[in-house]
Amino acid sequence: MLAAGAAAAYVAGFHPAADKRPAPLPTRVASTQTVGLIAEPSAGATQAAAIVQLLSTQRQPAFAPVGLSQEQQGQPEWIADVMTDGGYIFIYLPTSQCLASAGSRARPRLAVERCDLSRGQRWQRLGSGVLVDGHDFYQFSNLSTAKCITAGSGEAAQGLPASLATCDPARPTRQLLAFWWSAG
């Protein structure tokens, strides 16, 4: 009888399979705001647009130029939900879809898709902000792939591709995003 009790206590206290499962993701929103997800064009781009905004087409998200006249007023296109664990969910206002990492783990791509609050739709803000012209810019890493949202290179006036790339600890401009035109 004593041996059976000890065995039951051992089994109840030791669950190796349970230790390997990630903790469940929170589903409660701590705060929400409507924002423009803004990046600065790469250093080699012309200054036809001082900043670029993440937008989505039917194909995939891309950075589109914001004219100098629109820079102050802007048009926020995303809802940034801060979850109770400090992570973010980005919801594209025109379609009510979530920014996500899609594709294989080896070749992830940035997409917008039906919101399901999965790890592929969760974003973590990395490190401290970089202050540029009164705005804090941060890297945002996907919880599933650990890849950062990255603006491609090219002519900003034509738009820049958006992708997922290895998060660079040097925090290059192409991986830094700011919330502009935010409204809580």
Q: Is residue 66 part of a domain?
A: yes
Q: How far apart are CA 108 and CA 144, in angstroms?
A: 10
Under DSSP, the state recorded for 25 is P
Query: For residue 118, what are the domain limits?
Result: 26-183
Number of domains in the chain: 1
* Model confidence at 174: pLDDT above 50: yes
Lowest mean per-residue pLDDT among 4-13, 23-32, 45-54, 174-183: 4-13
Query: Per the domain annotation, does 168 fall within a domain?
Result: yes
Instruction: State if pTM tops 0.85.
Output: no
More confident call, 46 vs 167? 167
Asked if the structure places residue 3 within a domain, the reply is no
Domain presence at residue 10 = no
Enumerate residues 6+ apart whose C-beta is below 8 A from 71.
Answer: 50, 51
Confidence at residue 169, expressed as pLDDT on a 0 to 100 scale: 96
Residue 171 forms part of a structural domain:
yes
